Structure 1
Amino acid sequence: MKISVERAALLKAMSRAQGVVERRTTIPILSNVLLEASGDTLSIRATDLDVEVLETIPAMVEQAGATTAPAHMLHDIVRKLPDGAQAKLTDDGAGRLEVRAGRSDFRLATLPKDDFPVMASADYACHFQSKAGVLRRLFDKAKFAISTEETRYYLNGVYMHLADGAEGKALRCVATDGHRLARVDAPAPPGSDGMPGVIVPRKTVGELAKLLSDDEAVIEVGVSETKIRFATDNIALVSKVIDGSFPDYTRVIPQGNPRRMEVDAAEFAKAVDRVATVSSERSRAVKLALSEDRLVLSVNAPDSGAATEELAVAYADEAMEIGFNAKYLLEIAGQVDRENAVFLLNGSGDPTLVREGDDESAVYVVMPMRV
Structure 2
Amino acid sequence: MKFSILKEDVIEGLQKAMSITPAKTGAAYLRSLWIKTEADRIVVMSTDASTEFTGSYPAVVHEAGLIGLNAKKFCELVRKHKGGEILLHTEKDGETCIIEQGRKKYRLPTYDAGWFQNFHDFPEERTVLLEGNFLRTLIDRTAFCLLDDESDNEYNCLRLGKDENGWIDVCAMNGHQFALFRFQNQDLFNVLSEEGMLIPKKAMSEIRRWTTFDEVELSMTAKRVFLRSADGQEMLSFPLKLHTYPDYKSFLNRFEGQFTSRMEVNAADFFDSLDRLSVFNTENYSSILMSLSSKALVLTTQGQDVGDAREILEISYSGELDSIAFMNASLMEVITHFDSEALVLEFTGSRSPCRIRGIDTDENYTVISMPVEITTDTYYTEEAETREI
TM-score, normalised on structure 1?
A: 0.92
Q: Structure 1 stretch 334-343 or stretch 91-100: which is displaced more?
A: 91-100
Partner amino acid, structure 1, of 2:368: V
Corresponding position of 1:148: 148
CA deviation after TM superposition for structure 1 residue 211, in Å: 3.0
CA deviation after TM superposition for structure 1 residue 323, in Å: 0.4
Q: Structure 1 stretch 147-156 or stretch 122-131: which is displaced more?
A: 122-131
Is the alpha carbon distance of 1:124 and 1:226 closer, same or farther for their aligned partners in structure 2, counting shifts above 3 Å? farther
1:45 aligns with 2:42: no
The superposition leaves residues 297-347 of structure 1 with CA deviations (integer Å, 9 ceiling, x where unpaired) of: 111224432111122223244461110111210110110122222211121
Q: Structure 1 stretch 353-362 or stretch 173-182: which is displaced more?
A: 353-362
Corresponding position of 2:369: 366
Distance of 2:6 and 2:269 partners within structure 1: 46
Gaps of 5+ in 1: none
Q: Structure 1 stretch 342-351 or stretch 252-261: which is displaced more?
A: 252-261
Distance of 1:354 and 1:339 partners within structure 2: 13
Q: Is the 8 A contact 1:49 1:117 kept in 2?
A: no
Q: Is the 8 A contact 1:138 1:186 kept in 2?
A: no
Correspondence list, 1:194-343, <5 A: 194-196=191-193, 197-214=196-213, 216-217=214-215, 219-232=216-229, 233-253=232-252, 254-256=255-257, 257-282=259-284, 284-318=286-320, 320-343=322-345
Distance of 1:227 and 1:283 partners within structure 2: 43
Distance of 1:91 and 1:357 partners within structure 2: 62
Gaps of 5+ in 2: 374-379, 381-389
Is the alpha carbon distance of 1:282 and 1:79 closer, same or farther for their aligned partners in structure 2, counting shifts above 3 Å? farther
Aligned residues, how many? Answer: 365
Correspondence list, 1:76-225, <5 A: 76-82=76-82, 84-93=83-92, 94-120=94-120, 127-164=127-164, 168-190=165-187, 192-196=189-193, 197-214=196-213, 216-217=214-215, 219-225=216-222
Q: Deviating runs (4+, > 6 A) in structure 1?
A: 122-125
Q: CA RMSD in A?
A: 2.1
Partner amino acid, structure 2, of 1:240: P
The superposition leaves residues 126-164 of structure 1 with CA deviations (integer Å, 9 ceiling, x where unpaired) of: 532222222222112111000124442232121122224
Distance of 2:25 and 2:130 partners within structure 1: 35
Is the alpha carbon distance of 1:270 and 1:72 closer, same or farther for their aligned partners in structure 2, counting shifts above 3 Å? same
Q: Is the 8 A contact 1:139 1:173 kept in 2?
A: no
Q: Is the 8 A contact 1:159 1:175 kept in 2?
A: yes
Distance of 2:85 and 2:65 partners within structure 1: 19
Distance of 2:81 and 2:102 partners within structure 1: 9
CA deviation after TM superposition for structure 1 residue 4, in Å: 1.7
CA deviation after TM superposition for structure 1 residue 92, in Å: 2.2
Q: Is the 8 A contact 2:227 2:237 kept in 1?
A: yes
Q: Structure 1 stretch 360-369 or stretch 313-322: which is displaced more?
A: 313-322
Q: Structure 1 stretch 352-361 or stretch 62-71: which is displaced more?
A: 352-361
CA deviation after TM superposition for structure 1 residue 191, in Å: 5.1
Partner amino acid, structure 2, of 1:255: E
Is the alpha carbon distance of 1:102 and 1:287 closer, same or farther for their aligned partners in structure 2, counting shifts above 3 Å? farther
